[in-house]
Amino acid sequence: MSTLYYYDGHFYDEDPAKVSLEDRGHEFGDGVYEVVRVYGGRPFLLEWHLERFERSCSAIGLHNPLSREDWIRLIHEAVRRSHESEAQVYWQLTRGAAPRVHWFPGSDSKVTLIVRAQTAAAPTGGATLLAYPDERWAHVFVKTINLLPNVLAKESAHRAGADEALLVRGGVITEGAGSNAWFVSDGKLYTHPADRHILPGITRRLVLQLAQSLGIPTLERAVTLSELRNVEEVFMTGTTTEILPVQKIIAESSRLTQLSELEDAPPESLLYECVNPVELWAQTGEAPLTERLRAAFADAVAHCRNQSPMNP
């Protein structure tokens, strides 16, 4: 089986297409989600994902109908039923269905969960990032299903032939459209602090631990576009991205001011066509620190694979 679906207490082999037209996730994006990677049949870092999920729910006053133990049981059961040992589990919780009003209508929250086969992140000679203005709301730490800004950033990157969008707010690099950003300068590792302007990545949390255990000096401090000239290595992290080395960062020359200033005039399009790309940064030599962290990450994955499976 390649994909397993769960909705409202039941498992399905095919998309049950049962979500109400009046589901608030569908109408408002009123919900939150998580994605967990499964290695060798074991969900990786599940407790950390559930911790972040609970934080997202409480931030938006969303009733979480399941206890931590119930979630763990449900996710293991779904993975077991999927027969997939290399997979990703996506789940979301919405505020449920009710006639459309903006305030909370007192509806029952609804759980949707999908287990999908996932092959290992493709080996890469280094990714290209497109710098894109980060004009998302100010509560990015909530893992909301409301991902329109991320979708537009990713589509713009895709059109530019880039692998990921690198979001920049007021000249400060925050993170990727679906990943966290890391920089090495003078032997030190930098990443944006886990404040309201980034999603506190679970992979980011692991990489911080790995860096500490390897004795790599690490600063949770943002890097600006102008500081890129002092940067030797760049990589991105995420649950499905793992640790992705970056080869270059580009931007559309006519949009450079947008990376530093929020203009009052509404732009004609939020899609960012890259007609005259300029290179903001390029990898010049080896990336030894990225490689050390990738090796440590591979060890952590191997450890996950070797754990005994939980009996749901």
Ligand X SMILES: Cc1ncc(COP(=O)(O)O)c(C=O)c1O
Binding site for ligand X (CB under 6 A): 150, 175, 178-180, 199, 201-204, 237-239
In this chain, which residue has its C-beta nearest to ligand X? 201
Closer CB to ligand X, 107 or 169, in the complex: 169
User: In which residue are the tokens 């409202």 written?
Assistant: 8
Closer CB to ligand X, 140 or 231, in the complex: 140
One-letter amino acid for residue 92 of the chain: Q
Q: How many residues does the chain have?
A: 312
CB of 137 to ligand X, least distance (A): 12
Closer CB to ligand X, 95 or 197, in the complex: 197
Closer CB to ligand X, 180 or 290, in the complex: 180
Of 18, 110, 143, 248, which residue is the catalytic one?
Answer: 143
CB of 34 to ligand X, least distance (A): 8
Q: Are 223 and 190 in contact (CB under 8 A)?
A: yes
| b/e per residue 231-244 (b: at least 16 CB within 10 A) | bbbbbbbbbbbbbb
CB of 162 to ligand X, least distance (A): 16
Closer CB to ligand X, 107 or 180, in the complex: 180
Closer CB to ligand X, 192 or 255, in the complex: 192
Nearest to 60 by CA among 117, 136, 145, 132: 145
Token pair listed for 52 = 């972040």
User: In which residue are the tokens 């909530």 written?
Assistant: 142
CB of 106 to ligand X, least distance (A): 30
Q: How many CA atoms lie within 13 A of 176 on its CB side?
A: 31
CB of 241 to ligand X, least distance (A): 7
CB of 180 to ligand X, least distance (A): 5
110 included as an active-site residue = no
Catalytic residues, by residue number, are 143
